[in-house]
Amino acid sequence: MVFENTTKKQWLKVGLIVLIITIFRTMLQPLIPEGESSPFPPSAFVEMGLVPVAFVIYGVVMLGLLAIVFVLIQDRLPGTRLVKGLTFSVAFGMLWFIALLEPLPHGTWQLPEVLYYPVVDGVTLASLGLLLGAFVATDSKKPVSLRISPELLALVVIPVVFLVGRVVSYYVLGIYSSVDTRLFDTILWTFVFGLWIAVMYLMLKAGIAGTSPLAQAAFFGVIIFGINLFLNNLFMPIPFELKIWEMGTFSYIDLIARAAVDIIAVTTGAFICERIIAAITGRRASP
């Protein structure tokens, strides 16, 4: 079984940590200054005064699923439990930090406003990882290995494939973006985000289940990256009323389309990388 090495006591710790971090993030929200009025209409949660309740439920679900991802991969990760927690916290903390810097039309790039949510949510995810490492993870005898190897190809392959996927999203699907008004900023952010996804893949690869390149790529692209991405997107219906079918704005179909293409691109990039590595090293690899 997948969770056969996880005891009831550890699951209780996971639940407690998720609750603590959710409360921590909720307490930080009032400290974030309100920005300019949003161009999107308020959601039903806002109209009924239920945003705090929805925010807490969202936080528990989001952090709970990310904690489950940690439980899934931590046993295979090298290093002590604190190293595992630090690895997870840096990987996801930076992922959210960079994701929230995406230059979207309704956003601001004025300091310090542009850093409020990236810093707060990045710190929240980092705190989750550190606590899970300290109280849930187990020490591993497998040493942490830092060496130059063919696996570093991921730093080129994954960002390029991710960039291609986003170009399709921008120009073919027409997702909500600033590509028409801030082309350089958008492409730069896309490459940097793709580069960090590749770094994250290298950081967490040892914990990924699967014996074939396709299984490893799918586990990372769908389970590790994909769940996180959908959870990030699910925040938008809480403060804003979203349209359903209209592309090019914050709508359900737009969020689903951008997430689907991103997940396919990341999975494809990881798969191509693993196939190239197998060819270079002479390792047999089934599809």
For residue range 74-83, list pLDDT tens digits in order.
988 988 999 9
Question: Tell me, what's the pLDDT at 238?
Answer: 78
Q: Is residue 61 part of a domain?
A: yes
Please indicate, yes or no, if residue 2 is contained in any of the structural domains. Answer: no
Whole-Å CA distances, 138 to 25, 61, 69, 238, 277: 26, 24, 15, 36, 30
- How far is CA 161 from each of CA 95, 125, 230, rounded to the nearest angstrom? 17, 26, 20
Q: Specify the residue for token string 């995406």.
A: 102
| pLDDT score of 1 more than 60 | no
Can you give the pLDDT at residue 277? 83
Q: Say if pTM beats, i.e. exceeds, 0.95.
A: no
Q: Give the model's pLDDT for residue 198.
A: 96
| Domain enclosing residue 122, as ranges | 8-281
Residue 286 lies in a domain: no
Bond from prior residue into 112 cis (ω within 30 degrees of 0): yes
Torsion of CA 193, 197, 203, 204, to 10 degrees: 140
pLDDT higher at 250 or 206: 206
Sign of CA dihedral 3, 8, 12, 13: negative
pLDDT tens, residue by residue, 18-65: 999 999 888 887 777 765 556 677 778 888 888 788 888 888 998 999
> Which one is predicted more confidently, 211 or 84?
84
Write phi, then psi, for 122 (nearest 5 degrees): -65, -45
**pLDDT > 60? residue 11:** yes
pLDDT at 25: 86
Please give the mean pLDDT across all residues of the chain: 85
pLDDT (tens digit per residue) in 53-89? 888 888 899 899 999 999 999 988 988 999 999 999 9
When divided into structural domains, the chain yields a total of: 1
The answer to whether residue 226 sits within a structural domain is yes
At 145 the pLDDT is 62
In a domain? residue 1: no
Q: Which two tokens stand for residue 65?
A: 């699923």
Instruction: Give the range among 172-181, 248-257, 278-287 with minimum mean pLDDT.
Output: 278-287
Of 34, 196, 32, the C-alpha closest to 119 is: 32
Buried/exposed 51-89: b ≥16 CB within 10 Å, e otherwise: beebbeebbbebbbebbbbbbbbbeebebebebbbbbbb
Task: Give dist(CA 45, CA 204) in Å, integer.
Answer: 36
